[in-house]
Amino acid sequence: MITADQIIKRFEGLEAGRREMERAWRKCADYVLPRLAPAPGRGLIFDSTAPLAAPRLGAVLEAVLTPRGRRWHGLAPASGRPGLADEYLAEVLDILFQARLRPEANFHNQMSEAYLSLGVFGTAVMMVDDHPGLGLRYKCLPLQETYLAENYAGRVDTVFRLYKLTARQALMEFGKNLPEPIQRDAADPGRLENEHEFIHGLFPRRDLEPGRAGPLQMPVASIQVARAARQVVRESGYRVMPLAVSRFGVSPGQVYGRSPAMEAMPDIVQINAMKKTLLRAAEKMVNPPLLLPEDEVLSAFSLRAGSLNYGGLDDQGRQRVVALKLDGQLPIGLSMIEKAREVIEGAFYLKLFQILTETPNQTAAEVWERAREKAQLLGPVLGRQQSELLRPLIDRELDILRAAGALPPPPAGWGELPTADFQEGDL
């Protein structure tokens, strides 16, 4: 039996291993996605190239991987035998897309958040849940809550979450399983909104007993712990991992992904510094410092429109106030900024968007064909998303639908669900 102390100890190990990556995430949030920055509005962003490029890359990934209004994948027998029960597979696919695209499921909105997270932070965590009476529900989990570990094959199979609930929320979620301190807060109207930390661990279960059934004998263990009280508040399991964890790209020896924002960060920092300097220089040129005489005649000098400044001329009618001449090289600064902007836009694959504007009179088929040609540049990234994000997501969806009795009976001899089938044309 897994104890709360074991869960907390394992979490603390994952927490320590993530600290180096957190610094990179913080910088990406500061310069690319300020709404998620720890201290938004710190005045670091003077150029909008990267903040605008990130959602555009997300739109490219969505258009190529999970386009709205299109069947972006098929189904195939898990055994790999082609042509088996095509009618059954088509019926299951119809049911799957109908369940996925219900407004209550929130699929596309959450997938957009996942693609944005991939472009900015390099890692996305999508949860597929089953709400009784409501069906499939999707949620892109905040990356700052999640802690990951890989198996021997380099696939993420362990996810820990650190999240907070108020005493009232915790009572609604866990009921009488809560430790005494949280129950006391929940019973006191003045402390109902006090927050408490919980750890949720999802990992392969190693203590399965053959022949036994039940939540504690499912392949994926799910254990939730009240951190301060070091008490298990819920232990259960899943047949299929409910989280799909994907990385944009992975460096050798690392668990968390690398993003275009990380790769372009030197240019992102540089372009903001150059833009800040250029703005200051332009302001001084438009509103330069003034050179005044030492006497007190112009002590009340004003720059307001229509103001009268006595003493501003000498006896010969010459100005006694002169603007300081500044020899700034604005064209050079603008050229450097433009070059940095091209590097950033290239890192975010924004050339794909030019397909829609290069030839205004092209047909939809021509646009799609050219998009597919350009998308080959994203080939390694797209393949990883199909493998790490979409296939686990589809497996979880089918498992939920089968458990809910929403799928038709499988053909004779089928012992398992079908699996996702990505054709070359899907890209």
Domain ranges of the chain: 12-264+378-426, 269-294+310-347
Instruction: Say whether pLDDT at 186 is over 60.
Output: yes
Instruction: Look at residue 200 and give its three-state secondary structure.
Output: strand
Instruction: Say whether pLDDT at 104 is over 80.
Output: yes
**213-250 per-position pLDDT tens digit:** 778 889 999 999 999 999 999 999 999 999 999 999 99
Contacts 24+ apart (CB under 8 A), 351-359: 351/377, 352/60, 352/377, 352/378, 353/56, 353/60
Report the alpha-carbon distance of residue 124 to residue 64 in Å, rounded: 17
Alpha helices in 122-179 (DSSP H): 167-174
Report the alpha-carbon distance of residue 206 to residue 208 in Å, rounded: 6
Mean pLDDT of the chain: 86
**371-415 per-position pLDDT tens digit:** 666 666 777 888 899 999 999 999 999 999 999 999 998 877 676
pLDDT at 3: 94
Write down the pTM of the prediction. 0.85
Confidence of residue 368 (pLDDT cuts 50, 70, 90): low
Contact 421, 74 (CB under 8 A): yes
In which residue are the tokens 């907390």 written? 8
Confidence of residue 427 (pLDDT cuts 50, 70, 90): very low
- Residue 238 dihedral angles phi and psi, to the nearest 5°: -135, 150
**145-175 per-position pLDDT tens digit:** 999 999 999 999 999 999 999 999 999 999 9
The size of the chain, in residues, is 427
Instruction: Look at residue 220 and give its three-state secondary structure.
Output: strand
Contact 382, 371 (CB under 8 A): no
Instruction: Say whether pLDDT at 64 is over 60.
Output: yes
Report the alpha-carbon distance of residue 134 to residue 119 in Å, rounded: 31
- Residue 8 dihedral angles phi and psi, to the nearest 5°: -65, -40
Residue (of 220, 320, 338, 351) closest to 275 by Cα position: 338
Residue (of 83, 61, 82) closest to 72 by Cα position: 61
Among positive and negative, which fits the CA dihedral 261, 348, 115, 390?
negative
